Copies of this chain bind each other. A is one copy, B any other.
Amino acid sequence: MKTLFWNENKLYLLDQRKLPHETSYVICADHRAVAAAIRNMVVRGAPAIGVAAAYGMALAAMQNRSSSIAGLLAVLQSAGNELTKTRPTAVNLRWAIEQMLAKAKQYSAESVAVITTQLISEAETIAAEDIKINRSIGAHGAALIDDGARILTLCNAGALATAGYGTALGVIFAAHAKGHKVSVFACETRPYLQGARLTTWELSQAGVPVTLIVDNAAGLLFQRKMIDMVIVGADRIVANGDVANKIGTYPLSVLAAEHGVPFYVAAPLSTFDLTLSSREEIPIEERSSREITHIAEVKITGDEISVYNPSFDLTPAEKISAIITEQGIIHRPDRGKIAELFAK
């Protein structure tokens, strides 16, 4: 089951809103359809929305009717702005769009047709690279996982959150593939229930034992010494190592520190945003109150309830035991170590 693929000049996105009950694809023929799919959570997960946005840029080039290169570049800039606005926290989206714009500019001495062809090819490359990168994150991260490890995770940082294989779950898949008997506790991840709907499904399909808990139960699991480590993904990592990730990540980092349990973040280098110095600068998306007041279209609360629905929180670097990237593991991340990694 592919998270997304390109076929006959259209982008196919697995409709994650319908999982695990139904597997169907939303077919995007232009960049507006891709933007809507990202906004509406057809596709989610920082790396996956980056890849989807790259294809969205390729679609914008294909739909372009301007015969001038300047016209095409303006179309691409506008499409990029539209795609960037869909989800403000995950930086991979912006990263992918910048990659695509740079590629277009690289070929700006050529023709509109050449640029368009190059952009389709670049989107394919970004998608293929994402899977390779995740396998590399998995290989590095698996070294941190002992046989028998009981791992807590939040949200879904699996194949469904990427072009394939996954970041946090990629590490778990790599340990599992080595023959380690790992087991996972999946936090259901309110409000959108990515853990309950996606992570349990993805791990079960891979044969990794998984137990679903409500997010509230994580504390008791730490108290009862049922957790050996936490592994989560990331939506943005800034210059000092602070991490924005799904709402509920920060409390897990505080609990892990309280109980002396390692807390790992698995993410590609495209999730790093070195233009921001620390977590306070990261924009936090707020989503519709309906994600909380209604579950599976059933209304839970009374009328006219005031709701606050931030989608991400901020984990300070000092609560993170290590960040696992495709270039290796940054233990006890800080500004210096991150700068060093990017200087390579």
Contacts and interface: CB of A to CB of B under 8 A. Distances in A.
Interface in A283-303: 284, 289, 292-293, 295-302
Give the number of copies in the complex.
2
Interface stretch (A8-16, A54-62, A185-193, A265-273): A185-193
A214 B295 contact: no
Interface residues of A, number: 57
Contact of A247 (B190, B217, B299): B217
Given A185-B308, A254-B254, A295-B295, A204 B247 contact: no
Contacts of A249: 219
A125 interface: no
Nearest to A211: B306
Contact of A308 (B196, B217, B298, B308): B217
Given A300-B295, A313-B223, A190 B211 contact: no
Given A196-B301, A254-B258, A292 B214 contact: yes
Contacts of A3: none
Interface string A1-34: 0000000000000000000110000000000000
A306 B212 contact: yes
Q: Which of A204, A293, A300 has its CB near the most chain B CB atoms (within 10 A)?
A: A300
Nearest to A289: B212
The main secondary structure of chain A at its interface with chain B is mixed
A40 interface: no
A122 interface: no
A250 interface: yes
Nearest to A250: B219
A212 B290 CA distance: 11
A144 interface: no
B214 A247 contact: yes
A47 interface: no
A157 to B, nearest CB: 15
A212 B255 contact: no
A71 interface: no
